[in-house]
Amino acid sequence: MAGVGHALLAQALQVTTGVELVHQPELGGKTDRELITTVLTAHGLDAAEPLIERMHAEMAVAAHERTDHMRAVGFALPGASAVLAALATVPGVVQSVVTGNIAPVARLKLAAVDLDRFIDFEIGGYGSESLVRGDLVNLARSRAARKHRTTLSNESVIVIGDTVHDIVGAKFSGAVAIGVATGLNTTADHLHAAGADVVFSSLEDTAAVLAAVLA
């Protein structure tokens, strides 16, 4: 959803501080907490926790205001819906998100492309919760284990992502990392170098992706 992330940051900064967003950070793979901290510091503001929390809240408001826009410009990558639908039929598989976005924004983005129906948002890891992507994977797996009253081995936790940050976060948690080379400025070589166990050029081969996940 090109431009949405910067628009949310810009509105949240303007509403909470009255400052115009001039120094725009690189968004790819970073958590919203990290982005907000970077933006506040770059604009000479103190990245104190109360202000960060207000920024999170205003980003959620800004996202709700842009729901129609996200539906208009958003799209699911080829194969994503088919993979999620297929995994949803496999006994014992639960699907969630580990994302740099705060939870309300993640829900809205996935709803805009009709992928939210496959996701258990209760057990996700979100960008408001840490500066470190790997922490979010650990949060998600602990929430899933607690909800389903089980212990999750490293081999049973699979992270699928298209940025180097996703792969590094997965390996930080000890999880299996599946890379998909659809990320902006991210190649298959980048994902392999970051430690991905398997890399696909896309999610279009449903059978191959399922085989990698269930292996």
Helix (H) or strand (E) holding 165: helix 164-173
What is the reported pLDDT for 109?
95
- Decide if 9 contacts 21 (C-beta within 8 A): yes
- pTM above 0.75? yes
Amino acid at 36: I
What DSSP state is assigned to residue 62? H
Measured between alpha carbons, how far is 194 from 186 in angstroms, rounded to an integer?
Answer: 11
Residue 24 — very low, low, confident or very high, per pLDDT cuts 50/70/90?
A: confident
C-alpha separations of 174 from 37, 80, 137 in Å: 27, 24, 9
pLDDT bracket for residue 184 (50, 70, 90): confident
Q: Looking at residue 81, what DSSP letter applies? A: H
Rounded to whole angstroms, the Cα distance separating 79 from 59 reads 29
pLDDT tens for 147-181 read 999 999 999 999 999 999 999 999 999 999 999 99
The fraction of the chain above a pLDDT of 70, given in percent, is: 98
